[in-house]
Amino acid sequence: MSLPADASSPAAALEPVIMVTRMSKRFGRVRALVDASLTIGPGCTGLLGANGAGKSTLIKLVLGLLAPDAGEARIAGLDPVKQPLALRALVGYMPEHDCLPSDWLAQDFVRYMGELHGLPRRVAIQRANDTLYHVGLGEERFRAIGGFSTGMKQRVKLAQALVHDPTIMLLDEPTNGLDPAGRDEMLDLIARVTNQMGIHVLLSSHLLADVERVAGSVVIMAGGQVMVQGSLAELMTATPQVIVRTHEPPAALQRALERRGLTVRLDELDLQVAFETPDVFDAIRDAAVETGTGLTYLKRRVRTLEDIYLAGQDPTPVSAAS
Amino acid sequence: MSLPAGGARIIDRGYQHYEGNRLGQGHSFWVMVRGGVTRGMGIRRPLRTKVLPWLLLLAAIGAVLITVAAHEANPAGAAAPPTYAQFLGNGAFGLLLALFAALVAPDLLCPDRRERVLALYFAAPITRRHYALARLVSMSLLLLGLSLVPPVLLFASNALFSSSATGYVQDHLHDLGHLGLSGVLMALFYGAIGCAVASFSDRRAVAAGSIIGALLVTGFAGAVIGEGLTFSGHQWFVLLDLQELPARVVRWLFGLPPMPPGRDLTPITLDGWAYLIGLLAIIGAGLGTLLWRYQRMES
């Protein structure tokens, strides 16, 4: 079995972790994935999309659990169609749905999954204990999974995906069914997996806030198509607009800015002033003094993930470069 | 390395990457087989899951020990221990194996589907074929324990209570071989039927009932059509009698006529080979059905 380069090496850091090229998949008359191409780099990447967008299908294709109708993929350099077993030894998978055997002890099940992924028994026992400790179930590891809360079950699912020290983890809706505190803890754990354990993560979710909190990059899907992809830093760039919020009604300020030759648009109670040169801030200050308007907010507008997500629902796919 | 001062110790080493060797597919397969065997006997599971499988095993062993002990204690009064063919070809022993298969095969297969654990297993480096085969091997190994331990115990008792133990073993080595072959065939037969039928239901009770039902219905159909009717070729239908088929093969292996004398209403003249081929065909069909079911199953 050929193993990929050490994920922590500089060379590995530059290589894409997952590459999907023009992949399609149909289920009968339903087109679940349509000509999808994407490149996922190191770190944590969010896979965003509404229910039915094709996220779970993409994950199953990438894992080799489904065969694509067209296209190909490479995960850590391995082909999921031709080398599914070698690939799965290096990947940790946490499905969206309930998938834990209720009458197993947590430690037994996590150890068993470690052994199935090729760990010797003694190592698997040690790593099962360590992993359950890392996910916060050190004390409960000898209890039957059937008696666990939803949050504890999600942690067991994470532990079984982590026990064999995967290079990549595919997490499908890991915060499903969790209360706000449980969701917070799960996202902290995922951030630890990426930042402290050095494991690449593909986090599938329909929750913008989850992705925004832990992911460095994002892929947005809609109707089985990849609509947007890129790093959040690139996608959430400053836009050519300055947002001005005033204490008083902004009509006088708007007129004063327009007299100075600036393009101004009223968006509900905010003024959106076109950012052409940095002098625009001086012009706004002077116009505010001239009209006696108090400014309560003045900032160049940055695109939010919500903007990007909503733009991603547009049928024209875009990327960070566009 | 110096010892830490003041009894200090490291509590949390942080996450450790695994740098060692990753074992291959064969290892994963045997892990799954071992997991099936321990699960089947209720090991590291609640007490209620241990009771029935151990009870059935102990019943089979107990029957041998009690018969032998009673005979040895009172050779004139108690019935002689059964011959090997009588023991293995006995309907009660077949029923014991069938009950064990109906109890354990659904327990190995149904919860994995109902609780959707297959999604995790199939995301590990094993194939669907490996999974299905591993379950069948686990089931057959468990049945092998039941089909081999009691008759081997009977053999050991016979040797122990004979005038010369070594002489008995030397004289009856062929019996030991037949015991082994019979045990393997019976274990594979009931294992294949149990796993194949259990692969059609997510519910243990339904699967268990279906296994027993399949044996009863085929037994009835085989007896009525094969032994009760007289049309040309009727005797081939006795091969449908899955209740009796293994016992007939065992009787033939031990040199007896496959059908007990006087049992058939119309003469059955099938050769022992026909029963053996029928048994192997059932094992093959069970295996094929099991693999087919898991190849099509959604994970």
Range of the domain at B164: 26-296
Least confident of A66-80, A295-309, B185-199: A295-309
A178 shares its domain with A256: no
Contact B22 A95 (CB under 8 A): no
pLDDT of residue B263: 58
Radius of gyration for chain B, computed over Cα atoms and rounded to the nearest angstrom: 24
Domain match, A127 and A210 both: yes
Domain membership flag for residue A322 = no
| pLDDT score of A111 | 97
Q: Is the dihedral of CA A108, A111, A115, A120 positive or negative?
A: negative
Q: Which residues of A touch B (CB under 8 A)?
A: 1, 63, 65, 85-86, 88-89, 91, 93, 95, 97-103, 105, 108, 112-113, 115-120, 123, 127, 130, 134, 144, 160, 164-165, 196-198
Dump the DSSP string for B43-72.
Answer: TTS-HHHHHHHHHHHHHHHHHHHHHHHHHH
Which residue in A6, A66, A70 sits closest to A42, CA to CA? A6
Same domain, A276 and A168: no
Residue B208 lies in a domain: yes
The answer to whether the CB of A86 falls within 8 A of the CB of A117 is: no
Nearest-Cα distance to chain A for B116, in Å, is 5
**Spatial distance between the Cα atoms of A136 and A156, rounded to a whole number of angstroms:** 9
Query: CA-CA distance, A230 to A220, in Å (whole number)?
Result: 9
Residue A311 in any domain: the answer is no
**Tokens 């009223």 -> residue:** A266
Each residue's pLDDT tens digit, A235-271: 877 778 899 999 988 999 999 999 999 999 998 888 9
Q: For residues A2 and A115, what is the distance between their CA atoms, to the nearest angstrom?
A: 19
**pTM for this prediction:** 0.84
Radius of gyration of chain A (CA): 24
Residue A294 C-alpha, separation from nearest chain B C-alpha, in angstroms: 53
Write out the H or E segment, with its range, that includes residue A265: strand A264-267
B153 lies in a domain? Answer: yes
Closest Cβ–Cβ partner in B24, B111, B119 for A95? B119
Question: Phi/psi at A92 (nearest 5 deg)?
Answer: -105, 135
Rounded alpha-carbon distances, angstroms, from residue B176 to A262, B169, B179, B188, B247: 102, 8, 5, 18, 17
Q: A60 and A201 in one domain?
A: yes
Let me know whether A258 and A116 are in one domain: no
Q: Are residues A123 and A186 in the same domain?
A: yes
Q: Complex ipTM, two decimals?
A: 0.88
- What angle do the packed helices B25-40 and B91-114 form, to 10 degrees? 120
Other Cβ atoms closer than 10 A to A311? 15
CB < 8 Å to A100, chain B = 115, 117
Residues A54 and A40 in one domain: yes
Q: Which residue did the predictor score with more confidence, A174 or B69?
A: A174
| Pick among B12, B28, B34 to test the A interface (most A CBs inside 10 A) | B28
Give the pLDDT confidence of B221-233 residue by residue, as tens digits: 888 887 777 787 7
How many contacts, defined by CB atoms under 8 Å, are there between A and B? 95
Give the CATH number of the domain where residue A258 resides.
3.30.70.2470
Q: A314 in a domain, yes or no?
A: no
Number of independent structural domains in chain A? 2
Q: Which domain holds residue A221?
A: 10-235
Tell me if chain A has a CB within 8 Å of the CB of B173.
no
Q: Is residue A2 part of a domain?
A: no
CA separation for the pair B142, B188 (Å, rounded): 10
Give the strands of the sheet with A70-75, arranged side by side: A30-40, A18-27, A70-75
Establish how many alpha carbons lie within 13 A of residue A235's alpha carbon, considering only the half-sphere containing its beta carbon.
Answer: 26
Report how far residue A107's alpha carbon sits from residue A20's, in angstroms, rounded to the nearest whole number: 35
Q: Are residues A121 and A135 in the same domain?
A: yes
Would you say A16 and A219 are in contact if contact means Cβ atoms under 8 Å apart? no
Where is average pLDDT lowest: A283-287, A301-305, B247-251?
A301-305
Mean pLDDT of chain B: 89
Residue B138 covered by a domain: yes
A1 in a domain, yes or no?
A: no
